Amino acid sequence: MSYLEIKENKDTSYASFTKKISFMGDNLVIKKHIGKNTEHISKEKYILDNLEQISMEEFDFRKRFLIEIKNKISHHPKLPEKVEYNSILINNLIDAKKCRKMINVEFAKEFIFNSNNIEGSKITRREIEKIIETGNSKYKNRNEVREVKNSIKAFNYLIDGFKFNIASIKRLYYILTKNLTMEGGEAYPRGFKEVSNIVNNQTTTLPQNVEKELTLLLDWYKTNRRKEHPIILAFEFHRKYEMIHPFLDVNGRTGRLLMNKILMSGGYSPVVVYKENKLSYFNALSKSSDGNKKKYYQFMLEQADRTYEFVLKTMARY
């Protein structure tokens, strides 16, 4: 939370800028005296004029929380710091430019195109942009058009309405699969899987154990959401979720949305897993089940880095 405070002293106004930050149980207050003659001062202008200084002060505060996890999550010690700083920079720019809605729309275009493509969709990014911007598309594969429209609704549900419980996860799956057909032409089944599925030559949780394992994962999240660093919390939840694979299909799309809900709840921008990195993504997930989690975390950090660069470039146009 940030704000500008104006105080009157006789015939003169004095301004100060304040930003309050709460992160992992600790707090920081950034307070800057601006001076008098405040008629041309605004919070937004002050942030833009002092963007690097404000962002660096918050980064110095949050950097110490990275010390314990840097070696755990990355082969490149500077990458977690870069992701952390860019996340702070994005939040400050959103505050200054009042562009949260615009960024959500631009992110949705990038995320839906890549996430659906990873799962086999062939629809172009331009068609996805048209659907998001106008609600219409003449694209010949109507199933893929419905996939995009469902993904938009799912992303909106994630932002407003989703809770970390079994019912909300089922609801997310239902929104994503409503009125869609699978490869054989049949409708997506309701609820959790009733037959076993194998992913990357690995057996996932048996159908009769899905609700139990998912409940344990949700309990793990609730226990650790204030203890674990948000980046680790989000990436680890996604990894564990994909090992369960609770539905017959659409587990990747639901899992990536859940990961992003955790990131957003922790004050981070959401992340795109890019379609060009599909095989590396599957490989990193697969090997993480054998205890090699560092490669998986490294991969996800690289996706976060690329996503945040995309967001910053997008914001530079506005």
pLDDT tens for 108-141 read: 999 999 999 999 899 999 999 999 999 888 889 9
Question: What are φ and ψ of residue 187, in 5° steps?
Answer: -70, 155
Q: For residue 224, what pLDDT is reported?
A: 96
Predicted confidence band of residue 307 (pLDDT cuts 50, 70, 90): very high
Of 224, 222, 228, the C-alpha closest to 66 is: 228
Q: Give the tokens for residue 304.
A: 């976060």
Q: Over the chain, what is the mean pLDDT?
A: 92
Whole-angstrom distance, CA of residue 259 vs CA of residue 271: 8
| Among 52, 68, 97, residue at a domain's last position | 97
Task: Clarify whether residues 70 and 120 are in a common domain.
Answer: no
- Residue spans of alpha helices (H) in 1-159: 43-49, 51-63, 70-73, 78-97, 100-118, 125-134, 142-159
Q: Are residues 114 and 195 in the same domain?
A: yes
Cα–Cα distance for residue pair 43/17, rounded to 1 Å: 7
**In CATH, what number is assigned to the domain containing residue 190?**
1.10.3290.10
Q: Bridge-partner residues for 19, per DSSP? A: 2, 30
Token reading at 316:
């530079």
Which helix or strand (DSSP H or E) is residue 305 part of? helix 293-316
Q: Pick the residue with more confidence: 77 or 39?
A: 77
Residues 228 and 282 in one domain: yes
Does residue 37 have a pLDDT over 80? no
- Per residue in 183-239, pLDDT (tens digit) is 878 888 999 999 988 777 778 999 999 999 999 999 999 999 999 999 999 999 999
37-41, 195-199, 247-251, 303-307: range with lowest mean pLDDT:
37-41
Pick from 146-160, 192-206, 256-270: least confident: 192-206
- Segment 138-155 mean pLDDT: 93
Q: Are residues 174 and 45 in the same domain?
A: no
What pLDDT shows up at residue 80?
94
Which residue, of 57, 73, 97, is where some domain finishes? Answer: 97
Q: How many domains does the chain have?
A: 2
- 107 in the same domain as 9: no
Q: Quick one: 88 and 174 in the same domain? A: no
| 12 confidence band (pLDDT: 50, 70, 90) | confident
Structure tokens at 246: 């609770």
- Structure confidence by residue, pLDDT tens digits, 154-179: 999 999 999 999 999 999 999 999 99
Q: Is the pLDDT of residue 269 over 70?
A: yes
Average pLDDT rounded to a whole number, residues 255-283 = 96
Domain identity same for 303 and 183: yes
**Mean pLDDT, residues 59-88 taken together:** 90
Given this model, what pLDDT does residue 6 score? Answer: 83
The CB-side HSE value for 131 (13 A sphere, CA atoms) comes to 25
What is the band of 1 on the pLDDT scale with cuts at 50, 70, 90? confident
Reported confidence tier of residue 317, pLDDT bands at 50, 70, 90: confident
Looking at residue 274, its pLDDT comes to 98
- The domain boundary, picked from 34, 62, 97, lies at 97
Asked if 282 and 200 count as a contact pair (C-beta separation under 8 A), the reply is yes
Report the Cα 1 to chain-centroid distance in Å.
Answer: 20
Cα 275 from Cα 90, distance rounded (Å): 23
* Residue positions counted in the chain: 318
Statement to judge: residues 201 and 66 lie in one domain: no
- As a whole number of angstroms, the distance between CA 52 and CA 59 comes to 10
205 plus 308 within the same structural domain: yes
Return the pLDDT at 71.
79
Task: Identify whether the C-beta of residue 128 lies closer than 8 Å to the C-beta of residue 136.
Answer: no
pLDDT at residue 42, rounded to an integer: 87
The pLDDT assigned to 285 comes to 93
Rounded Cα gap, residues 80 and 73, in angstroms: 8
Say if residue 43 is in the same domain as residue 106.
Answer: no
178 plus 83 within the same structural domain: no
Same-domain check for residues 141 and 14: no
DSSP 186: P
Identify whether the C-beta of residue 230 lies closer than 8 Å to the C-beta of residue 221. no
Task: Write out the residue range of the structural domain in which residue 184 sits.
Answer: 100-316
Question: 15: which strand partners?
Answer: 6, 35
Give dist(CA 57, CA 18) in Å, integer.
12
